Amino acid sequence: MRLLSGLKLRGRLTLWVCLLLVAALTPVLAAGIHVIRRTVEQQVQGVLQVEAEGLRDLVESSLQEREANARAWTEDAIVRGALLFGTYAKSDAVLATLNGRHESFAGLVLFTEDGRVVSVSRPGLREAFEGHEARVLASPWFQAALKDRLDPAILTAALTRTDPFFGRPVMPLALPVLSPISGARVGVLLAAYDWNQLEQVVAGALQRSKERGQRSFTLEILDRDGGQLYSSRAKGVPEPSRTVRAQAFDAPQLAEAGRHWRFVAAMDAEEAFQPLRSFLKLSVLAVVALLLLAILAAWALARGVTRPITTLSGLVSRVVREGDLTQKVALHGRQDEVGELASAFSRMMDHLRESTASLQQGTRVLGQTVAELTRATEQQERNLTRQSAALQETQVTAQEIQQTSQLAADRSQAVLGLVSRAREVGSAGEATLQASLGGFEQLRDHGVRFAEGVSSLNERTRQIGGITQTVKDLADQSNMLALNAAIEAVRSGEHGKGFSVVAREIRSLADQSIQATSRVREILDDIRGGIHATVALSEEGQRRSEEGLAQVHASGQSLRALTEIIHDNASAAQQIAAAVIQQNAGIAQIFTAVTDLSGMMDDTLQATQGTQRMAHTLRGVAERMESVAGVWRV
């Protein structure tokens, strides 16, 4: 953003167009490169797959053909006759002729069943095999031939090492030779296929790869364990760090010799994708060329857009520098946004000329008005100065009146405080008297309740006396019953002695009860006498309480009247104090009004002075505006 802010409009337009073009081309280019890369990869993989399958077909057809040749040779009459009749010279000639026709074989050797060599296609093979019958009999390919089968494992293992008899890797196609008469096995024919001759089989595929410019193209044959049976790469040439591979597997229905082999076509990835890199380079060059063309087109477009704007900018600069509003905008024939901008700028210049002319005329009128305003404010300032002096004298007089009124208000407040104190004392005395009156009334109530209690106690003593009389009567009756019982006991004799004792005890208890009853009666009489005396005393106290209560009521009425007088005096004192306070408040308001008026007069005077200063300032502004407006030529 800082880079954009430092560029002019032409540069920003050019940069934005380039950025938009890059943003539009980037996804298209990326998608195209991805599709082309996928296509190239598929093409390379397809070519390698075709080569791998072609290698498989060539090798398998070649091995199938060699096996068919070997089986046909085992049925040759001369070969059979040599084993049956010992005509080995003829079989040597036949084997030599066959080997000459098929040079892909390293040699043809005819063995008897005991492993003895009897005929060869090349002279040096006889010396190689003579004396090694036991070794020949123990070899896996000879044992497989005796069983009339070609073991793929045996054939594959033979290709990974140098054969000791032939001095090179060979595929030992060993087949039994059968008698044409009995069909019995009479010998073994070994057709040693020279594995190095495989170069001639794959020479066509390698030549095609060279014609395509694929120098790193290689063909390989691997066994089932990954062991290398053949490779077209020259010895000493290192394998590339990154390769593209395709492989094909032999078909089970083909010759047994090729079963479980893998045919691999490989190529250096750098060389395989060289066309893609070339295309990418061309694409980059094309994009760069397109960007350059876009930059030129964007620059031309930006120049076409910004040149009229630059013309307007120069015109504005001349107007600002020279103050000449008579300049004309000469951009005719454009109907785009820039033409509209030029038309709008022309109208703005017309309005600016009209505004400047009006401003110059207004500044002249403003100068005249400011001069008149200055003279008026000076006259108003002199009048306000005189009014301010008169108000200051009035303020001093009002202040003296306020001090006198304040002293009277303070005195009235002191009197009002004393009256309030008297009212409080009267109220407190009345409250105390009321409390005393309440206490006397409570005392009277207590006396009444005490008299009632004593009366109730007297009643209870009478009830107790009645009860003691009843007890005495019962004791007398018990005494009479005991006496009768004693008489009856005497009459009964011995049988009544025990009853006589009981009668005596009952009589003794009856006498004690009579005595106790007499004692209780005496105590009750004493209590009754005391109660009568208490009742008399309580009645006397109640009478005196009534008299004291009447006196307290009379004192309360007198004190209440005194309190009412105090209240009346207090109300009058309050009214006097309120009047004095109101008077003081009025005088204070007058003084405040005079003070406020004096302050307002000062403010008005200061405002007038400020107005005068503003008038001077406005005059200076008018002069500057006149000078500024005079800069423009209309």
Every domain of the chain and the residues it spans: 35-274, 351-629
Amino acid making up residue 309: I
Percent of the chain with pLDDT over 70: 74
For the domain 35-274, what is the CATH superfamily, name and number? LuxQ periplasmic domain, N-terminal subdomain (3.30.450.220)
How far is the C-alpha of 247 from the C-alpha of 266, rounded, in Å? Answer: 9
Q: Which of 123, 195, 128, 134 is nearest to 165 (CA)?
A: 128
Amino acid making up residue 616: H
pLDDT for res 631: 55
pLDDT for res 558: 67
pLDDT for res 176: 93
Do the Cβ atoms of 619 and 625 come closer than 8 Å?
no
Q: Which of 190, 199, 193, 195 is nearest to 218 (CA)?
A: 199
Residues 293, 296, 297, 298, CA torsion sign: positive
Percent of the chain with pLDDT over 90: 6
pLDDT for res 254: 45
CA geometry: angle at 134 spanning 132 and 135, to 5°?
Answer: 65
- What is the per-residue pLDDT across 524-562, written as a single tens digit (0 to 9) for each? 777 777 777 777 776 776 677 677 667 767 766 766 776
- What is the per-residue pLDDT across 474-526, written as a single tens digit (0 to 9) for each? 777 777 777 777 777 777 777 666 767 777 777 777 777 778 777 777 777 77
**Chain Cα centroid distance, residue 576:** 79
Any bridge partners for residue 178, and if so which?
Answer: 185
Amino acid making up residue 623: E
Distances (CA, A) of 513 to 108, 487, 505, 509: 174, 22, 12, 6
Any bridge partners for residue 177, and if so which?
Answer: 187
First-to-last alpha carbon distance for the chain, in angstroms, is 42
DSSP string for residues in 476-504: HHHHHHHHHHHHHHHHHGGGGHHHHHHHH
Q: Is the pLDDT of residue 273 over 90?
A: no
> Any idea which fold 351-629 has?
Helix Hairpins (1.10.287)
Residue in the structure block whose two tokens are 């309005």 = 351
pLDDT for res 187: 92
pTM of the model: 0.44
pLDDT band at 239 (very low <50, low <70, confident <90, very high): confident
